[in-house]
Structure 1
Amino acid sequence: MDAVALLALLASSAPAAPAAVSSSTSAARAEVTLSAAGDIRLDGPIAAIARKGGPGAPSRAIKRALAADIVFANLETPVTTRGDKTPKTWNFRARPADLKIPRAAGVTALNIANNHVWDYGERGFLDTLHALDRGHWRYVGGGLDRARAERVRVFKVRGLSVGIVGLTSTHPRAAWAGPRKPGVAYSDYARIPDIVRRAKKKCDVLIVSFHGGTELAEYPNDIQKAVAHAAIRSGADLFLGHHPHVLQPVEIYQGKPIVYSLGNFLFVSPSTATRSEAIVRVEMNRDGVQQLTFVPLDGNWGRPKPASAEVAAQARAALDRLGAFEQRPDLLIFESPESTPKDIPGPSVGRTAHP
């Protein structure tokens, strides 16, 4: 879609009316929690750490901080021993056994709509689907055809249905899923409203996961903002982004939270700018998203750990570049390392509102 068409689409999308707020006293309490983290790369340094210390070694210091009913992250690695390299600067590849690494961390759901799942072409992508299916993983953003790549995955927890859809803007056309072609769910602006509206009909709370943006950029680019706003206007309750490898700000749009980038998780990048990471713990009930608590981490070269005061300050500054924490202190919480045990930032202690 060209720029003129995109502007026309955005201009024609009328803002949605604010959601009604229930007067029920039970609505004030969350029924279900979801923890979301950023990018996972399963080969290279992460695989080496796991080979030496076991699959739980990379995540050992922060596993309890990640604990929730649903634990979601972006799998930035094809799982295959076959296929031809796609011509590009960085090609990743992991073995099926390496999927024990996110499982040991407690991850229960994965996004695969990203710019590395096609690193070894269609054969490598199909092997990845097979490995995930064989391992009984719940995943979004890719499939044997476009319908399956775009479909919502619904998690039913204590009577609440939480749906997740995965999209990406980072692939060339060769990797896009088609009506009869395997691939990833491309974030076609013209299709976003239909994808989101269909998904929302199947769940109480809908989360859109999006892989896109500019690597190492402090702010979201125009594509990120356009996709996020279209998703929220179409009915998404929360937008979670990844790909820039650094934290980007939170935005409140039509009353709904947009997290443009959570940075890395189990991933080693050559830039020290990627050191500051975060987990976001989302509390939800039938009225939607009730609270987001951001837990700052230090990437620690593939062994993430609770952030020091210095790294946490960097994380807080990055997340609040648009002033969202001051705008919605009831919704957005930043977990300060000074009030949280440094070894285990557990979900029941030390939550402090952003100052």
Structure 2
Amino acid sequence: MAPTTRTARLLLAAGLAGVSLAACVIPAAAQLPPVDPPAPPPAPETPIPPPSSGRLEAPRVVATGTPIPLRGRRATPQSRVAIQIRRSGRWRRIATRTADRGGRYRLRVRPRRLARHYRLRARVAGAEASLPVRVRSRHVTLDAVGDINLGDGVAAVMHQRGYRYPWSGVARRLRSADVAFGNLECAVSRRGSAISGKEYTFRGRPAALRVAARFAGMDVLNLANNHAGDFGPAALTDTLAWIRRFGMTSVGAGRDAEAARRLRVVERLGLRIAFVGFSDINPAGFGAGPSSPGTVVATPEIVRRDTRRAARRADVVVTTFHWGVERSTSPDARQRSLAAAALTGGADAVLGAHPHVLQPVERRGRRVVAYSLGNFVWAAGSPFTSRTGILRLRLSARGVEGARLRRAYISNTRPALIR
């Protein structure tokens, strides 16, 4: 029977050829040569994205002359981004900034020329520019008024007609301003007792102050005067706290001398407005001490020093005074001396109170001095002391761009604009 296996066939073939079996053995390695696995296909190359200028973002409105804050996103990472402004029909570079690894960047630019509108865009080399952004520029408005008393006859009228009544003729106007300022000539507290020997002492209720803030739109209140301390240091401390609680800013008084002299900064549309306040009418014990509440006593040296410090930290400085002679329609030598000290220190606006009647408003370039703004929310007892007004200042980073006194008249504690 013929062999059926491969070995049998090999033995048969070897025997027939006379060859030894050992010579016919084939090494296993030679039988099946190794085969290398196929090489993996080459990885596809990651395409390099084209350069991108990304997106530029800016506020819609800024105050005149202030730097414009810009923010960029989705620019080519770590690329140099040029910020361009449209001027005289051409795009001109005004700043550059390097984007971070995420393509983001921030900067502030100040155009050399003032304009009502600016068009800005970002551009990276080799890329199309970003879509332009439009930024509007305008003056910041500050409305300043005179003496505000929430006690005495005003409190009696509010008890009959409501807390809003004294403000009802002027609230809309005051709310339309970016900042509203006045001289709060009373304490606001439920504590304390009237200072002994003082002829007139005034105190109002916190609810009346809340209406001044939320209905009338008051923002900054001067306390450097001769009535903020009428009911003692505890009541003055309460007044400071209530002003802060209702979202307003006090100036010219504090828990101690250091706090009283601390400047207050209010910012609108990027314009930083600093307020400092001083009183030249100082009943005994009203001045702040190293550890006692009170007001800031006015001296030319302190006025210059504090105003100069404020000018270093803000774009516009408003210096407020309580000074002068009651019922006098002209500033005296002391008022002029203190105003000169404030202007020397860098004040842009000087606002005065205490005479209870209007005194002149003087323009000096881009600075203004209002010696007395008279009464405002007050139980005025005569036509002479009932004439008042709202002084509207238009402010920029250069100072006071415009000033206008809108006349008003007080009737039954309620000032109303004269048409």
Q: Which TM-score band applies after superposition, normalised by the shorter structure?
A: 0.7 to 0.9
- Per-residue CA deviations over 1:229-271 (Å, capped at 9, x if unaligned) read 1101110001011111100012235762100011111011323
Judging changes above 3 Å, is the alpha-carbon distance between structure 1 residues 55 and 114 closer, same or farther for their aligned structure 2 residues?
same
**Superposition pairs for residues 290-329 of structure 1, below 5 Å?**
290-307=401-418
Preserved CA contact (<8 Å) 2:210 2:246? no
Range with greater deviation from structure 2 (129-138 or 162-171): 129-138
SS at match of 1:278: strand
Corresponding residue SS for 1:261: coil
User: In the alignment, which of 102, 112, 125 is matched to residue 212 of structure 2?
Assistant: 102
Is the contact between residue 50 and residue 101 of structure 1 (CA under 8 Å) also seen in structure 2? no
- Rounded Cα–Cα distance in structure 1 between residues aligned with 2:272 and 2:180: 15
- Quote the Cα distance in structure 2 between the aligned partners of 1:253 and 1:177: 33
Asked if the contact 2:329–2:358 (Cα under 8 Å) also holds between the matched residues in 1, the reply is yes
Tell me, in whole angstroms, the C-alpha distance in 2 between the residues paired with 1:62 and 1:126.
Answer: 29
Q: In the alignment, what sits opposite 1:288?
A: 399
Question: Is residue 212–residue 243 contact of structure 1 (8 Å, CA) maintained in 2?
Answer: yes
Q: How does 1:83-162 map to 2 (within 5 A)?
A: 83-86=192-195, 87-103=197-213, 104-162=215-273
* Matched residue SS, 2:405: strand
**Does the 8 Å CA contact 1:283/1:291 hold for their aligned counterparts?**
yes
- Contact in 2 for aligned 1:248/1:262 (Cα 8 Å): yes
CA contact (8 A) 2:327 2:356 kept: yes
1:249-288 alignment, distance < 5 Å: 249-253=360-364, 256-288=367-399
1:165-244 alignment runs, 5 A limit? 165-244=276-355
In structure 1, stretches of 5+ residues that fail to align are 1-21, 308-336, 338-355
In structure 1, the residue matched to 2:84 is none
Q: Give the Cα–Cα distance (whole angstroms) in 2 for the partners of residues 69 and 255 of structure 1.
A: 19
1:323 aligned residue: none
Query: 1:280 and 1:191, CA in 2 relative to 1: closer, same or farther beyond 3 A?
Result: same
Query: 1:35 aligned to 2:143?
Result: yes
Q: Does the aligned pair in 2 maintain the 1:151–1:199 contact within 8 Å?
A: no
Counterpart for residue 51 of structure 1 = 159
Q: Distance in 2 between matches of 1:72 and 1:175?
A: 22
* 1:173 Cα deviation after fit: 4.7
Cα 1:279–1:208 shift into 2, 3 Å: same
Letter of the structure 1 residue corresponding to residue 390 of structure 2: I
The one of 72, 77, 82 equivalent to 2:186 is 77
Paired residue type of 1:199: A
Q: Distance in 2 between matches of 1:303 and 1:183?
A: 29
| Contact map agreement 2:240 2:250 (CA 8 A) in 1 | no
Aligned to 2:53: none
Alpha carbons 1:232, 1:254 under 8 Å: kept: no
Deviation at 1:155, TM superposition (A): 1.0
2:189 is matched by which residue type in structure 1? T
Structure 1 residue 53, shift from structure 2 partner: 3.2
1:69 and 1:95 mapped to 2: Cα distance?
A: 26
**Percent same amino acid at aligned positions?**
36
Rounded Cα–Cα distance in structure 2 between residues aligned with 1:37 and 1:143? 22
Structure holding more helix per residue: 1
Tell me which of the two structures has the higher relative contact order, counting C-alpha pairs closer than 8 angstroms and 6 or more residues apart. 1
Give per-residue Cα distances to partners, 1:189-216, cap 9 Å, x unaligned. Answer: 2211110111111110111111111110
Q: Are residues 53 and 172 of structure 1, via their aligned partners in 2, closer, same or farther at CA, if it must alter by over 3 Å?
A: closer
* 8 Å contact kept, 1:247–1:263: yes
Residue 13 of structure 1 corresponds to which residue in structure 2? none
Tell me if the contact between 2:218 and 2:248 (Cα under 8 Å) persists in the aligned partners.
no
Change (3 A) 1:171 1:287: same
CA displacement, residues 256-287 of structure 1 (integer Å, 9 cap, x when unaligned): 21000111110113233111101011111111
Judge conservation of contact 1:232–1:253 (CA < 8 Å) in 2. no
Shift in alpha-carbon separation, 1:101–1:244, aligned structure 2, 3 A: farther
From the two aligned structures, give the one with the greater strand fraction.
2
AA aligned to 2:170 is: I
* Alpha-carbon spacing, 1:29–1:284, altered in 2? closer, same or farther (3 Å): farther
- The separation in 2 between residues aligned to 1:143 and 1:297, in whole angstroms, is 32
Deviation readout 1:165-194 (Å, 9 max, x if unpaired): 111111135111123222101112221111
Aligned letter for 1:25? A
CA separation in 2, counterparts of 1:296 and 1:29? 28
In 2: Cα distance, 1:142 partner to 1:221 partner: 25
In the comparison of the two structures, how many residue pairs are matched?
Answer: 287
**Match for residue 8 of structure 1?**
none
Task: Report how far residue 62 of structure 1 moved.
Answer: 1.8
Stretch deviating more after TM superposition (51-60 or 62-71): 51-60
Q: Is the 8 A contact 1:83 1:123 kept in 2?
A: yes
| Higher Cα radius of gyration | 2
Q: 1:164 aligns with which of 275, 283, 286?
A: 275
Please report the RMSD computed on the Cα atoms of aligned residues, expressed in angstroms.
1.9
Q: Which amino acid aligns with 1:246?
A: V
SS of residue paired to 1:190? helix
TM-score by length of 2: 0.65
Amino acid across the alignment from 1:257: V
